[in-house]
Chains A and B, each alone.
Chain A
């Protein structure tokens, strides 16, 4: 695999993992559905 593609995979995998981890750590103030 070409180096550019490998770097892209690593960078964006880190962005998504850290972004979602941060967001899920903020969860806890509700969010229940109601009709």
Chain B
């Protein structure tokens, strides 16, 4: 649950709901959860549990020739955690800045929070090849994060499980505090109307279904290898079907509540700046590091305290997703394959993850983060997710897995689940990939970037192909751990 509930619940979902018909979006998003998200989650948890291995070992369990399909999302997980931790390092810097409200209070400060983020925090350069210098404070925060993660991860899933109880409970509590603060601000109701008022005509648009299915695909932490490993940590008698449903429902419920905290605050910001809510509505990094600080600047009291609470919420939301990506997504598969001491793999992955993250701490870091995020968190996740379902559905027998899972669950999967895996999930993921990906990144170079002879779209394919080649290389290696 901790891995599924992350930053996207706060900074992506509410904006998508607002932009795609409010309550109508929520209907499509719940349909997506039931027909795409939960079945896919059951597949990943279930294969991990059945083969008692992470993603590569689970696919090798079907047939050795499919092992690469388990390694490709490991590449995705590694690159995501490398930049995800940098976003958390930025949040860390904002926690410190909040104590003295470094970006200022009042209307003038609220209108220049972009300068604080892009200037003071990032010192953003002119493009991805203009690396400039290192943001040493961010790099220092990143080092602290990775050291903390190493301490929690090196003993394995037992300790992570105990820590996750806190890293789920704390951000939930903080989110509730922010929600109450948001709802008691003037203008909150105006914001909630934009968030939830349904526009049913939007249900007939491809844009809404793209938004809903993409949110489900990206929010549950599937397609990033880690869920296979988490499934492998479960005992034989564990109820995977129910665990997947709890994870899915709790994740969506958290998103729903986070939307109240976000849009009540945006309603307040719009009211206090005398503009309309659409003028301040934002998502992603812009919401977290530009718009929300602006709202905090305009708050009538305890600005710094609210700032600390908000950015701590982001850090706590991110931390268990980071454990999940690093441990379940990368360390566990490597340990499965090559054997050896868990702490050594943990130290190695933490060190390489920190070094890889250093690029995102440079003055060009945001550009590289954008490129890598698009490559792995969008294309990587969707391609490997669709291929995984196709392989399980058409090149193996999904009923073998279904029968195994039904044996320890009161909630029985029927043959309908096989068809969701064979058809509905891959078609949904391919639709998202074509509608929001290929249709944009093939005719137009992604992001107007130019890196030597390559444009932004070339970089996306290069990153994906490097991951694919590494996956085949790892598959070709025979190890003692594998034989055992």
Q: Which residues of A contact B (CB under 8 A)?
A: 1-2, 4-5, 7-9, 11-12, 15-16, 19-20, 23-24, 26-27, 29-35
Q: Which chain B residue shows the least CB distance to A32?
A: B235
Q: Which chain A residue shows the least CB distance to B52?
A: A34
A33 contacts B197, CB within 8 Å? Answer: no
A4 contacts B246, CB within 8 Å? Answer: no
User: Is there a chain A Cβ closer than 8 Å to B198's Cβ?
Assistant: yes
User: Is there a chain A Cβ closer than 8 Å to B233's Cβ?
Assistant: yes
* Chain A interface mostly: helix
Given A4-B198, A5-B196, decide whether A12 and B256 contact each other with a Cβ distance below 8 A. yes
Given A27-B242, A30-B237, A31-B238, decide whether A4 and B22 contact each other with a Cβ distance below 8 A. yes
Given A2-B193, A26-B410, A26-B411, decide whether A31 and B243 contact each other with a Cβ distance below 8 A. yes
Cα–Cα distance between A29 and B405 once the two chains are bound (Å): 12
A4 contacts B235, CB within 8 Å? Answer: no
Stretch at the interface among B71-79, B154-162, B426-434, B472-480: B154-162
B residues in contact with A4, CB < 8 Å: 22-23, 196-198
Q: Which residues of B contact A (CB under 8 A)?
A: 22-23, 26, 30, 156-158, 161, 189, 192-193, 195-198, 233-235, 237-239, 242-243, 245-246, 249-250, 252-253, 256, 342, 408-411
A20 contacts B196, CB within 8 Å? Answer: no
A residues in contact with B189, CB < 8 Å: 1
A residues in contact with B156, CB < 8 Å: 35
A19 contacts B249, CB within 8 Å? Answer: yes
A18 to chain B minimum Cβ distance, whole angstroms, is 10
Given A5-B192, A33-B234, decide whether A27 and B26 contact each other with a Cβ distance below 8 A. no
Cα–Cα distance between A34 and B193 once the two chains are bound (Å): 46
Cα–Cα distance between A20 and B257 once the two chains are bound (Å): 15
Cα–Cα distance between A33 and B342 once the two chains are bound (Å): 16
Q: Which chain B residue shows the least CB distance to A17?
A: B253
B158 contacts A5, CB within 8 Å? Answer: no
Given A1-B189, A5-B193, decide whether A20 and B410 contact each other with a Cβ distance below 8 A. no
B196 contacts A23, CB within 8 Å? Answer: no
Cα–Cα distance between A9 and B196 once the two chains are bound (Å): 8
Cα–Cα distance between A1 and B189 once the two chains are bound (Å): 6
Given A5-B192, A5-B197, decide whether A20 and B246 contact each other with a Cβ distance below 8 A. yes
Among all A-B residue pairs, the 9 with the closest Cβ atoms: A8-B23, A5-B196, A16-B253, A30-B237, A29-B239, A35-B156, A8-B196, A33-B161, A4-B197
7 A–B contacts from the bound complex (CB under 8 Å): A5-B193, A12-B23, A12-B30, A29-B237, A29-B238, A34-B233, A35-B156
B410 contacts A8, CB within 8 Å? Answer: no
Q: Select which of A2, A16, A31, A33 is within 8 A of B249 by beta carbon.
A: A16
B237 contacts A5, CB within 8 Å? Answer: no
B residues in contact with A32, CB < 8 Å: 234-235, 238
A residues in contact with B233, CB < 8 Å: 33-35
Cα–Cα distance between A30 and B43 once the two chains are bound (Å): 19
B23 contacts A7, CB within 8 Å? Answer: yes
B22 contacts A23, CB within 8 Å? Answer: no
Cα–Cα distance between A21 and B82 once the two chains are bound (Å): 37
A residues in contact with B157, CB < 8 Å: 33-35
Cα–Cα distance between A30 and B239 once the two chains are bound (Å): 7
A11 to chain B minimum Cβ distance, whole angstroms, is 8
Cα–Cα distance between A30 and B405 once the two chains are bound (Å): 13
B residues in contact with A33, CB < 8 Å: 157-158, 161, 233-234
Given A4-B197, A23-B246, A29-B408, decide whether A34 and B235 contact each other with a Cβ distance below 8 A. yes
Q: Which chain A residue shows the least CB distance to B199?
A: A4
B227 to chain A minimum Cβ distance, whole angstroms, is 14
Given A4-B196, A23-B246, A35-B158, decide whether A29 and B234 contact each other with a Cβ distance below 8 A. no
